[in-house]
Amino acid sequence: MAQLIFKKAFFRFFVVGLLICLCTGTTSAFSYSESKLTADDPIQGAEFGRSVAIDGNIVVIGAAEGSDEVAVGAGAAYVFKRIGNAYVQEAKLIAPDAELGAEFGRAVAVKGNVIVVGARFASSGSVTRAGAAYIYKKKVCVQGGI
């Protein structure tokens, strides 16, 4: 008899909890906050967000058709750092040998202080559209140290 009373009480508790979740729209134990990241220098048709990588507090976002600083449509990769609840653009990476249509930023990866940016149509010597990957390592400055 005691087991039957316990089962009924548990069932009521379960049903009430389920109804509360359904009525309040809570279906998960997780909650998410939203951030919209955009380039400090947006360019129409840049494909900002074409590729995205995150590691810890660092987010790298590729814009394969972006950057008109060196060559129109050469591409760029933007580095953001999370500070508190906000993301702040820390750097804009452009290939040192930027060229039209290289699609620098088509692929990005980040691990620790190393960022890799792919440019699928970059030239290699006299070979056009050969592709390349550029590796960037963030220099860590230590104040008062060596």
The pLDDT tens digits of the residues spanning 17-56 come to 544 545 555 555 666 778 899 999 888 888 999 999 999 9
Tell me whether residue 118 is in a domain. Answer: yes
Tell me whether residue 28 is in a domain. Answer: no
Tell me whether residue 127 is in a domain. Answer: yes
pLDDT, one tens digit per residue, over 48-98 is: 999 999 999 999 999 988 766 667 778 999 999 999 989 999 999 999 999
Q: Take residue 79 and report the two structure tokens written for it.
A: 């580095």
**What is the count of structural domains for the chain?**
1
Q: Are 142 and 87 in contact (CB under 8 A)?
A: no
Question: How many other C-beta atoms are found inside a 10 Å radius of the C-beta of residue 98?
Answer: 19
Q: What's the residue count for the chain?
A: 146
- How far apart (Å, rounded) are the C-alpha atoms in residues 19 and 49? 39
Q: What domain range is 93 assigned to?
A: 48-137
Tell me whether residue 7 is in a domain. Answer: no
Q: Are 105 and 73 in contact (CB under 8 A)?
A: no
- How far apart (Å, rounded) are the C-alpha atoms in residues 46 and 69? 13
Tell me whether residue 132 is in a domain. Answer: yes
Residue 22 φ then ψ, to 5°? -70, -40
Look at residue 67 in the predicted model and tell me its pLDDT.
65
Tell me whether residue 128 is in a domain. Answer: yes
- How far apart (Å, rounded) are the C-alpha atoms in residues 102 and 93? 14
Q: Which residues are bridge partners to 60 per DSSP?
A: 53, 79
Residue 116 or 17, more confident = 116
